[in-house]
Structure 1
Amino acid sequence: MRTEPTLRIPLGVLAMLVVLAGYAAAIARYVPPLIGEWPTLAQTIVYVVLGIVWIAPLRRFLTWMETGHWR
């Protein structure tokens, strides 16, 4: 357990917000023209999957924020 604060956590949170905003902007820009004509249920499934995908790399990133190591 850490006893002193590090700069990794606030910088990590800011980086995470920037990356997630970029991901959201890319999804909002490029996905609707591709799936706009699909049935509503199919579009919902695509957006649910894309809404969950960003979580996959989050574990390693949070580990780095806490420990300073990627593993």
Structure 2
Amino acid sequence: MASPGKKAFPLRIDPALYAALERSAVADFRSVNAQVEVLLREALAKRGVKVAAGEPAKRGRPPKQEDEA
């Protein structure tokens, strides 16, 4: 399932290219999905296409809710 605010779509990709992406992602301590996103942003920037910065991922535990019983 896609993260909130992210567009999900199917992608057909050559298995050899996927394997290379996977190796690259492992080397950068990322998921394949995150690696694809980084590489796409880099490629677009290289072409001079501006992309708005995405919302940063939320990290850590959510705050505890006080019981109102």
Q: Which of the five TM-score ranges fits, normalised by the shorter chain?
A: under 0.3
- Structure with the higher fraction of residues in helix conformation: 1
Q: Which has the higher contact order (CA 8 A, sep 6+)?
A: 1
TM-score, normalising length: structure 1 = 0.25
TM-score, normalising length: structure 2 = 0.26
